[in-house]
Every structure is written in structure tokens, then in C-alpha cells.
Amino acid sequence: MPSTPDEWQNQPRLRAADVDRQQAVESLTRAWREGRITRDEFQERSQISLAATFTDELDDVLSDLGGLSYYAEPMATPNATSGQLEVRDSWKSEHDDALPVQWAPEGATGSGLTVGFMSGMDRVGRWVVPANHVAVGFWGGAVIDLRDAVFTSPETTITCIGIMGGVDVIVPPEMDVHVTGVGFMGGFGWDKLRYATPTRTPSPDNPRVTINGLGFWGGVGVTRKERGEPID
């Protein structure tokens, strides 16, 4: 292990992993909640964090908040039954009510169309959602996962068309979603009625999402899932 400043300077830069970027964003979220940074600062720094290649870039973003040490490292907690220590990632276990949404950089447009034609097409992870997006499942299927999506507009409309196929839309627990589509010899709507109501308090800064369209000899289903929960 390097022991002098010169040796540290000669070390190669460490590449950031997805968990590093996520932890940095969670750190910024807590700082924003506490009033240590403004909303504009939060959005700007979050975008830098999500695009970071190296860990020192994340350190720069968090330098005035305590650097990388500001966000919690995995913590060891006693196991009540075994008496052994469990490792718990605090950023995963923290309650995320009213987490501010991730906004795309100014000028970003995203893709306006998802088509599953005799096959499947998935929009998952951190993808840019335009103000209007069309998803089509024709003799095939499409998945629109909004849990980690990056939005461009406070009003977002997703038009889903399932024709002898299907479209599955996944939204996070706190998202404000309005479903207005029609099922004709098919189905359109929430997979379960209880999903229609957010299970966590929506943030006033989050986008309002409208899901409309048609299920014709096919189906369009909308469900709520926790972030990190498998699609299937």
C-alpha cells in the first residue's frame, strides 16, 4: 500500500462503479434535504456524478460536503439471532420518501419510440424519457421501466399500444401516475388496483406521468416496484 504522497500520486486513477455513482447521488440527496445545497446544485452535481468515470470525479463533486466520507459506507450491525455481524449498505436501507427526481441535462431529448415487433424491447435503467414517448408491442412485448429513468419534462405522456402483444410499464412507489388508456378485446390498466395509489409520499418536484393508449387483442399493464426489484 502506498505510504507517501509521491507514491499516492503515481497510483492509477480508480474507475467508479455504479454503486459509487449511486452513493454519491444519495449523498447529494441528503445534502439537498438538509438545505446544504440548492435544487439547481443538486441537479447539476447529480448529472456529473452519474456521468463520472473515476472515483476522484465523485470526490470533487462532494468535496465541500465532506468528500467521499460524507456518504455512509457499508455498516456492520449485530444479527439478533446469530450474534454475528451483518453488512448493510445504508444508502439502500434509507427510506427514500420524496426523493427528488433525476432531470436530464438541458437540451437532452431522449428516444421517442420503443417497439417490440415479433420480439422484445426493454427501456430500463438510466434512460432519458422525453416529454412524449410511444411504446408499441405488436406480436411482441415492450417494457418501460421508469424507476431509474431521467426525465426531461415535468409533464410526461407515455402512449402504450399493445396489439396481439403487450407493454409493461413499471413505476417507482412514489411516482404520481395517471392511467387513461382503453382495452378493446384486451386489457389496459394497473396490474392490481392497489398500485394506483403511491405507496410513498410523492415529491412536488417529481414529474406527473400520464399513461394512455390502447390494448387490442393484447394488454398494457402498469405496476409499482421498488428500485432494484427484478422486472419479472
The model's pLDDT over 209-223, given as tens digits with 9 standing for 90+, comes to 999 999 988 889 999
pLDDT of residue 188: 94
Q: How is residue 46 written as a grid cell? A: 447529480
d(CA 56, CA 194): 44
Where the chain has pLDDT below 50, the residues are 1, 8, 69-97
- pLDDT, residue 205, reads 76
- Helix (H) / strand (E) element for 137: namely strand 132-138
| pLDDT the model gives residue 81 | 41
What was the pLDDT predicted at 77? 37
The predicted structure's pLDDT at residue 2: 52
Cα–Cα distances (Å) from 44 to 38, 169, 216, in that order, read 10, 28, 42
Q: Say if residues 138 and 165 touch (Cβ distance below 8 Å).
A: yes
**What pLDDT does residue 5 have?**
52
Strands 166-171 and 141-145: parallel
Give pLDDT tens digits for 150-198.
999 999 999 999 988 899 999 998 899 999 989 888 889 998 888 888 8
Residue 101: count other Cβ atoms within 10 Å of its Cβ.
19
Question: What predicted TM-score, i.e. pTM, was given to this entire model?
Answer: 0.57
Between CA 44 and CA 41 the distance in angstroms is 5
